[in-house]
Structure 1
């Protein structure tokens, strides 16, 4: 198998005959006090079945479905969501994303999120599981109006711990950038190679197999909220922190239990969402199925 560590640093992913090239474009707008999904276009296996309103008409929930159930080497997924002025959208997934072995090809996901004046967008997918020999490039871009808000969750799980599988070979390249009012607020990029130093470095995974990150952008949160976040119970041996930098709040957890990581991140979301968006955190029913 080609060295996928090299492949992910190239400008263009290696083409793969028969791989899925899937794209989903969503547009939300506020009409009569209702956040509506007015634009829904897809090609390939990515779609939203219907908008949901579990917490009233002000927030539109959309469940992004990837029917194949897993991403194989060479598959490329692209999600583009635009939330108009004053609208609110909550995007999630019905289950964990599974990234299978590379088979000599780079897989990828590119997410682009935009929110207009006074709007909010929440990107809250369930965890991503990277199988041994997966070779993946991830890119996440957020563009916010000056007074728009964003909450984003990312949980990566290296290997399938429940099956005793570890991430022995392969690599994951990540790039995240967030802009608000045209100003770059957050820029993070890096690559985790299964045999690389970051797997055990204190600056990387520190020997853990799960990394969970929650980023919130909007009004600065009260000190009491930050203090409550730092008091959340975490698994034994985990590394956890919450930091606020003006209008950006970052919560990060390193551990080796994906279910525990999700519990901690959901608890963090339940603390910060009322303060940031003025709404209680309503757990989507799909998370319990």
Structure 2
């Protein structure tokens, strides 16, 4: 009998890295959470599902009837071939806040790319806050993320996604890599916000350009969909200062920020998010 090889040599099926390689172990995770409104008006858990490297924790938040959930990736980071999926729903009249436990790390991807899909569903008169902590890209990372949101009439949405290119304290630079990021937000079936970002090749060289980032390695995009954004615009601009800008138009407030380090970015991002949350503190995992 012929012994089977310990490693199977395959042709990589990823169009971005179609070359022979070794089949490595990959991580997969799926998490789903649904919030419902209790008879007393408080937001309660209705459904929780977790599989693979995806975990969802419900800390005691003492947030006046709001529900907070912390999302974890137990694999410790992502590389080529890893897949993560989050599906989150805020039922009618609920308030659901979701935060990542810590920064997500995108490691060098010898083959393929890591992929994350995020699905957010916000029902009538509900509010959902997606407050991801930093995504840190390492040199050679390949990553694709899709954020797809559906809002009913009267619903509001706050999305925060910070992105760091290398750890400045370690003198790291992301010289090459691939990043694809696409957001689609619909309200009552009508698109209200669509954006797409693609960076590939010599990322560090591109970030040095004055037309791109002027050397900034820390970036954040914040989106607030809801009429309250108009009243919050002026203060948001003051908090952001010369690190970026804020603009309210068409029922949404869009904020962009850049900084030379993750710490400098966070010092503006934390008070901005508290402001956009109506003064409510961020989940405790943000302070760790």
TM-score band by shorter chain is 0.7 to 0.9
Corresponding residue for residue 105 of structure 2? 98
Q: What is the CA distance between 1:26 and its match in structure 2?
A: 1.0
Corresponding residue for residue 78 of structure 2? 71
In structure 2, C-alpha distance between the alignment counterparts of 1:128 and 1:222, rounded to whole Å: 28
8 Å CA contact 1:192, 1:199 repeated in 2? no
Alignment pair present for 1:217 and 2:225: yes
Counterpart of 1:36 (choices 44, 69, 73) is 44
Taking a change above 3 Å as real, the CA distance of residues 165 and 140 of structure 1, as seen in their structure-2 partners, is same
8 Å CA contact 2:230, 2:248 repeated in 1? no
- 1:107-151 C-alpha deviation (Å, 9 max, x unpaired): 011100000000010000110000110000011111100110000
Q: What is the CA distance between 1:220 and its match in structure 2?
A: 4.5
Counterpart of 2:196 (choices 189, 199, 205) is 189
Taking a change above 3 Å as real, the CA distance of residues 220 and 190 of structure 1, as seen in their structure-2 partners, is same
Q: TM-score, normalized by length of structure 2?
A: 0.87
Counterpart of 1:247 (choices 225, 232, 251) is 251
Q: What is the CA distance between 1:47 and its match in structure 2?
A: 1.2
Unaligned stretches of 5+ residues in structure 2: 1-10
8 Å CA contact 2:230, 2:253 repeated in 1? no
In structure 2, C-alpha distance between the alignment counterparts of 1:167 and 1:154, rounded to whole Å: 19
Counterpart of 1:84 (choices 87, 91, 100) is 91
Corresponding residue for residue 4 of structure 2? none
Root-mean-square deviation (CA, aligned residues, Å) is 2.5
- Stretch of structure 1 that moved more, 203-212 or 255-264: 203-212
Q: TM-score, normalized by length of structure 1?
A: 0.87
Q: Secondary structure at the match of 2:239?
A: coil
8 Å CA contact 1:16, 1:74 repeated in 2? no
In structure 1, C-alpha distance between the alignment counterparts of 2:114 and 2:120, rounded to whole Å: 20
Unaligned stretches of 5+ residues in structure 1: 275-279
Max Rg structure: 2
For 1:1-289, list aligned pairs within 5 A. 7=16, 17-32=24-39, 33-57=41-65, 59-195=66-202, 198-202=206-210, 204-223=212-231, 225-232=232-239, 234=241, 239-274=243-278, 280-289=279-288
Q: What is the CA distance between 1:206 and its match in structure 2?
A: 3.6
Equivalent pairs counted in the alignment come to 273
